[in-house]
Amino acid sequence: MKRTVPLSAGNGGEENNELIRKVFYKAFKNDILLKSEDAAVLDLEASKIAMSTDSFTVTPLFFPGGDIGKLAVCGTCNDIAMMGAKPKYLTVGFIIEEGFDLRELEKIARSMKKELELNGAAVVSGDTKVMPKGTIDKLIINTSGIGELEYEGISSNNISQEDTILVSRDIGAHGATIFTAREGIELQSNLQSDCNSLYPTVKALIDAGIKITALRDATRGGVSAVLNEWAKQSDICIEVEEESIPVSPEVFGVCEMLGFEPTMLANEGTFCLAIKNEDASRALEILKQFNQNATIIGKVTNTHKQRVILNSSYGTKRFLDTPTGELLPRIC
């Protein structure tokens, strides 16, 4: 097989079959996928399922801490986990530019395989299209996923003053990493994306009997977008202590240099939690088993409904608004 993807690999014929067989079947092999049917027949024991879909067009394709393949699996599996469900089945669509390096495609597929195993999930159906050179930028991946519900009732519409707001780790690492990698900014630091699968953390919270009201991974728009969405959806005010928000020195440095706001930078392995007040401390202990930077950052009040207030260490207050404009395109 050629070491780049030819346009004929999207023709539905022998070249297409060879690409699927030698790259994707090799990475995602399982009994359901190998049947090569038009659709997968799934065995779901749960009475309720969670389902999500997403598309990924990050640039660069490979970045410190991950690549587009890992990002695609984490993105969809994390969305499912945020609803208290175990990721189980995924479909994957690859839109590939003619001439794409086959070794890079294989590397991306192996990265996806590793993340699927971490979630206990499997790719059961997929599609491949090859576009003429210059019509797309290298590679786009679409993933859809189904998960079995393990904890019912999680909803961003039910947050109240009975809840405490937490974040699972330090924020903004993905956005800062992608920007510095894209712009060729060389930093003498350990900065890398937080791209990671969140189901193991959610599973630990569920197994411990933590009373969960809402979960949301803070992707595009960052923590600021999540908290503002929650405030509007639940008709509440969320007050956040600015000093409590965990920001690594590397991300803080990038924000200082470029004028970014850490709370608005994208994440791909960081999530916000609304936990019943009586369980907040115990939830924090569990989160710290996965990342020591997990923190309680705020509370729910009725001060200014549908708004997020940032309380500074100087005793001042300001609104933390929803991000506007396009801070950093092609980030996921």
- Please tell me the pTM assigned to this model: 0.93
What CATH number did the domain enclosing 309 receive?
3.90.650.10
Query: Strand 163-167 vs strand 295-301: parallel, antiparallel, or unpaired?
Result: antiparallel
pLDDT band at 1 (very low <50, low <70, confident <90, very high): low
Q: Which of 27, 107, 119 shows the shortest CA–CA distance to 73?
A: 119
Percentage of residues in the chain with pLDDT exceeding 70? 99
pLDDT at 272: 98
pLDDT band at 204 (very low <50, low <70, confident <90, very high): very high
Separation CA 211–CA 278 (nearest Å): 9
pLDDT band at 183 (very low <50, low <70, confident <90, very high): confident
What burial class does residue 3 get, using C-beta atoms within 10 Å of its C-beta: 0-12 exposed, 13-18 middle, 19+ buried?
exposed
Tell me: the pLDDT tens digits for 184-201? Answer: 777 777 899 999 999 999
Tell me: the pLDDT tens digits for 114-170? Answer: 999 999 999 999 999 999 999 999 999 999 999 999 999 999 999 999 999 999 999
17 & 106 share domain: yes
pLDDT at 42 over 90: no
> What range does the domain containing 263 cover?
163-319
195 & 302 share domain: yes
Separation CA 48–CA 46 (nearest Å): 5
95 & 233 share domain: no
Q: Stretch 69-80: mean pLDDT, rounded? A: 97
Separation CA 207–CA 253 (nearest Å): 38
143 & 174 share domain: no
Separation CA 254–CA 177 (nearest Å): 9
26 & 132 share domain: yes
144 & 240 share domain: no
Tell me: the pLDDT tens digits for 256-265? Answer: 988 899 999 9
- Count up the domains in the chain and report the number: 2
Largest Cα–Cα distance of the chain, in whole Å? 68
278 & 304 share domain: yes
104 & 68 share domain: yes
Contact yes or no for 74/196 (Cβ under 8 A): yes
Q: How many CA atoms lie within 13 A of 176 on its CB side?
A: 29
92 & 240 share domain: no
